């Protein structure tokens, strides 16, 4: 993901909702999400059309969990942006993100395989894989 070219002083005097709106409008999708989506759909035996549909079949829902988990493993997109990409409300994306961490071992194995495959596909297509590092706790 390319760094945003926004002046740091643009936020002075703006309320929070307007700041978020500016960030979402300036975010550029360079193809990483599409590559991850195709990889996850291959591993879960789901088509992209089924993934984007309103269907709540178990395989499709697991694909959404995995996709959201990988997106938050790789990139720091906002919930609203990922929700727009998935044709979902941002609260659904938050649910997928939280649920992805708490599912059984079989799901975790599938998640790890899809994560490795998405890393490989991202590197193949020229995107640099950088796992987000958490800030150290404490001062």
Average pLDDT on 30-46 reads 89
Alpha helices in 7-124 (DSSP H): 16-26, 32-44, 48-52, 58-74, 79-86, 90-100, 105-124
Domains held by the chain: number: 1
* CA–centroid distance for 125 within its chain: 18
Specify the pLDDT at position 139. Answer: 42
Dist CA 72 CA 81 (whole Å): 12
Q: For the chain, what is the largest distance between any 2 Cα atoms, rounded to a whole number of angstroms?
A: 49
Q: Considering the domain boundaries, does residue 7 fall inside one? A: no
In-domain check, residue 34: yes
- Residues 6 or more apart whose CB falls under 8 angstroms from that of 105 comprise none
Q: Tell me what pLDDT residue 74 has.
A: 74
4 in a domain, yes or no?
no
| Terminal C-alpha separation, the chain | 29
Q: Which residue segment(s) compose the domain that 51 sits in?
A: 30-122
Residue 108 maps to a domain:
yes
30 near 2, Cβ under 8 Å?
A: yes
Q: What is the mean pLDDT of residues 27-35?
A: 73
pLDDT above 60 for 135? no
Residue 72 · residue 41 · CB < 8 Å: no
Question: Which CATH number do you get for residue 111?
Answer: 1.10.1750.10
CA distance 80 to 89: 7
Q: Which H or E element spans position 53?
A: none
Classify residue 40: in a domain, yes or no: yes
Residue 12, pLDDT above cutoff 90: no
**What is the pTM assigned to this prediction?**
0.71
């Amino acid at each position: 993901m390319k760094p945003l070219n926004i002046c740091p002083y643009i936020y002075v005097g703006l309320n929070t909702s307007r700041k978020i709106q500016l960030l979402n409008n300036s975010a550029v999708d360079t193809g990483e999400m599409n590559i991850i989506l195709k990889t996850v759909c291959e591993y879960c035996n789901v088509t992209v059309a089924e993934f984007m549909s309103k269907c709540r079949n178990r395989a499709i829902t697991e694909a959404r969990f995995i996709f959201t988990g990988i997106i938050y493993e790789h990139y720091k997109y906002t919930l609203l942006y990922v929700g727009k990409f998935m044709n979902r409300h941002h609260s659904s994306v938050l649910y997928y993100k939280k649920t992805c961490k708490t599912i059984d071992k079989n799901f975790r194995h599938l998640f790890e395989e899809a994560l490795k495959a998405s890393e490989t596909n991202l590197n193949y297509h020229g995107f640099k894989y950088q796992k987000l590092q958490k800030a150290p706790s404490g001062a």
